[in-house]
Chains A and B, each alone.
Chain A
Amino acid sequence: MKKYVLRRLAGAVPLVLGIATIVFFLTSLAPGDPADFVIAPGVTQEVREQLRANYGLDDPIPVRYVKWVGQAARGNLGHSLTYSRPVIDVVGEFLPNTLILSGTALILSFLIGIVVGTIQADRQYSIFDSSMSVVLLFFYSMPSFWLSLMLIMTMSLFARNVWDLPIWFPASGMESVNNPQMSPIQAFLDRLWHLALPALSLSLVLTAGIARYMRTSMLEVIRQDYVRTAMAKGLSREVVVFKHALRNALLPIITLVGLYLPFLFSGTVFIEYVFAWPGMGRALVDAALQRDYSLVMGGSLFFATIVVVANLVADLLYAVIDPRIRYD
Chain B
Amino acid sequence: MASYWDRSTFWRGFRDGLPFVLVVGPFGMLFGVVATEAGLPLVQVMSFSIVVIAGAAQFTALQLMADNAPTIVVIASALAVNLRMAMYSASMTPHLGPLPVWRRALVAYSLVDQSYALSVMEYEKRPEMTLAQKTSYFSGVIAPVLPSWYLATLVGALVGQSIPDSLALDFAVPITFLAMIGPMLRTKAHVAAAVVSVVCALLFAFLPWNLGLIVAGIAGMMTGAFVELRTENKDMA
The answer on A and B forming one complex is: no
